[in-house]
Structure 1
Amino acid sequence: MNTINPEKLYHSKWTAVRPRNKEKHFLVTALERDAEETVVAVVLEAVYTRRETTLHWQALKDDDTWLMGWR
């Protein structure tokens, strides 16, 4: 399981373990916060297609789906 500090996710790089539609490498382009300013979600942008996806930041902890950095 990846250990992640949600405050340091902005501009971090991620690799999808099982790429879809040639989308393997992603960059965190935005952090979504709640009323208390805690991070609740991240916006991932696929490097190849520029498609954006929003997901809960804790989903990045799953080693079976995401790897830190670009590999």
Structure 2
Amino acid sequence: MTASKPPRLNPRKLLLSKWTAVAPRRKEKHFIVSEVLWPDDPAAPLELIELEAVHSRRRQRLPWRALLDTDTWRQGWH
């Protein structure tokens, strides 16, 4: 089996993007990027986003690059 190629992501286009958890927990499978947490310093790179579970509305913050892990996340709703 070949490894999935990580999605190409533009941090400026992450807001409201849809994601599917490969191994859902607590019935939370589908997520949407509800907030992009830009740093106060415009020269600093983006580090964090906030994901919201569609089912429970629970929010979690994580590094935006975590979405590149194809063992954990798939782009879009599947």
| Letter paired with 1:49 | S
Aligned length: 71
TM-score, structure 2 normalization: 0.86
Structure 2 unaligned residues grouped into runs of 5+: 1-5
Q: Which residue of 1 aligns with 2:55?
A: 48
| RMSD (CA atoms) | 1.0
Query: Structure 1, residues 11-57: CA drift from partner, whole Å, max 9, x if none?
Result: 00000000000000000000001112642211000000000000000
Say whether residues 1:22 and 2:27 are aligned partners.
yes
- Structure 1 segments (4+ residues) deviating >2 Å: none
Structure 1 unaligned residues grouped into runs of 5+: none
Say whether residues 1:66 and 2:78 are aligned partners.
no
TM-score, structure 1 normalization: 0.94
Q: Which residue of 1 aligns with 2:3?
A: none
Q: Decide which structure has greater strand share.
A: 1
SS of equivalent to 1:60: helix
